[in-house]
Amino acid sequence: MISRRTALTALGAGAAVAGTGVAAVAIASHDKPEPLAPPSTDNQGRVVWRNWSGIQHCYPQSRLAPTSAEGLAQILKTAQAPIRVVGAGHSFTALAVTPGTMISLDQMSGIVGWQGDNAIVQAGTRLGTLGPELAAKGRAMANLPDINKQSLGGALGTGTHGTGKTLTAIHGDVVALTLATPGGDLIDCDATREPDIFQAAKVSLGALGVITKATLRTTPNRRLHRHVWVEPLEQTLAEAESRWAKHRNYEFYAIPFTDMAACISHDETDLPARERANEQDDTILVALKGLRNLLGFSTTLRKAAGKALLSSAKPEEAVDEGWKLLSTDRPERFNEMEFHLPAENQLKALKEVIETIERERPDVFFPIEARRIAPDEAWLSPFQGGPHGSIAVHCHYRDEFAFLFELIQPILLRYGGRPHWGKLHNLQGRALEALYPKWNDFKALRQRLDPEGRMLNLYLKGLFNV
């Protein structure tokens, strides 16, 4: 979309406006140092584990990788607690942190059977590898999240989702699952067999046990037409609802301090395949960070340079199978807060978030993502009870992110938002109970399946007030 030459030209224009000396000082003063890494081992020789962004870490006493559901169930019954399962480590919260036993399901991966067009998939399967496995049978997942590095189990446990007004989060396409419990049992459940466990386990934060496999509803493997374009934010906000109604998948990124937005749509097509262009997100982020460093002292100048930069963006189009287009590589690390709001409140809340960032936080340069998700009935699904829209605010991994809790979370809560379980928030106990009608039912079921709290680390104990 934007070449490096175009980005450098915009930065050069900004430097000319600001003055060479000011530019050099601004860039030097705003480029943050690499965050201090924890020691690679602790005083007992245990090796560190860190999540993708680097803000969570721990030193597990043991790390295990079972190869079967029966082996996993035995581990849950006998291993040192707290027991936590880790996939890609892409959650920003402390869900996987444990001084006890850390389990990887990487050895429990792949499609192990079919029931008609429904695929039986082991929970350790990465979403990025599931796409081609399904495609080999002419099938596909109905939707995919923005990033596809997660394991299926991790995606289900945190309510991971894509975008599309008529499309649910991934767990909405689960028609059956097997749960290994801390008591060493394997429970097969669906809408008729153990229905309460089924609706609770689909989004359970790993607090009930561990999903070993899930039966997923699939769709025909159709080609999608991907369209990416940049336009004034005012136009995006005015047309967002009609676009969510029109397109199979639609999302947009409001780019703070530019008054611009990047839009992405996907629709089914019979057009011949057209290769996806090389991702330009990195180039854009570097340029936006450069404008932050250079012109952060003046919102007016920064917006003028940002508009000049983004107005040069050419639309991008591609046609290919959905699993190749719906997810994107994100090499630039970040930390993220995402809440899901009743659809009718999403755009109002987004406007307030943008206004607050532009008034209070000139250090922010990452785009703000807005998506729409269909409802489902999982007990702890953020989308339970009606259509919801998501707002995701990102910070570069080197930047301070406490403002997300201080400035952004109160806005999203005021508009009825529920937190994404894998993204930053600090809600606990009564606050969560007020957001989820089945919260206490989930707590009672958790107590029944795990009376000793073997799956509960400190973070989960805080969530459930244990």
The structural domains of the chain, with segments of one domain joined by +, span 49-104, 111-220, 223-419
The class that CATH gives domain 49-104 is: alpha beta
Question: Given this model, what pLDDT does residue 116 score?
Answer: 97
| pLDDT tens per residue, range 95-142 | 999 999 999 999 999 999 999 999 999 999 999 999 999 999 999 999
Average pLDDT (7-20) is: 48
| pLDDT tens per residue, range 274-301 | 988 766 667 888 899 999 999 999 999 9
Number of H helices and E strands in the chain, helices first, is 16, 20
Helix, strand, coil percent content, the chain, rounded in steps of 5: 35, 25, 40
pLDDT over threshold 60, residue 358: yes
Average pLDDT (76-89) is: 97
Residues 6 or more apart from 178 whose CB is under 8 A from it?
69, 186, 187, 188, 189, 211, 212, 213, 214
| Domain 111-220 annotated CATH 3.30.465.10 | yes
Q: For residue 357, what are the CA distances in angstroms to 8, 242, 394?
A: 25, 27, 11
**What is the rounded radius of gyration, in angstroms, for the C-alpha atoms of the chain?**
22
The three-state secondary structure class of 232 is: strand
Percent of the chain's residues with pLDDT above 70: 92
For the chain, what is the mean pLDDT?
Answer: 93
| pLDDT tens per residue, range 319-349 | 999 999 999 888 889 999 999 999 999 999 9
Question: Given this model, what pLDDT does residue 30 score?
Answer: 59
pLDDT over threshold 90, residue 20: no
CB 38 within 8 A of CB 48: yes
User: How far apart, in whole angstroms, are the C-alpha atoms of residue 294 and residue 303?
Assistant: 12
Question: Given this model, what pLDDT does residue 281 score?
Answer: 63
Q: For residue 199, what are the CA distances in angstroms to 259, 379, 431, 438?
A: 42, 6, 21, 10
Question: Given this model, what pLDDT does residue 21 score?
Answer: 41
Peptide bond before residue 82 is cis, with ω within 30 degrees of 0: yes
| pLDDT tens per residue, range 385-441 | 999 999 999 999 999 999 999 999 999 999 999 999 999 999 999 999 999 999 999
Confidence of residue 29 (pLDDT cuts 50, 70, 90): very low
Give the CATH architecture of domain 223-419.
3-Layer(aba) Sandwich (3.40)
> Which is more confident, 216 or 14?
216
User: How far apart, in whole angstroms, are the C-alpha atoms of residue 67 and residue 340?
Assistant: 36
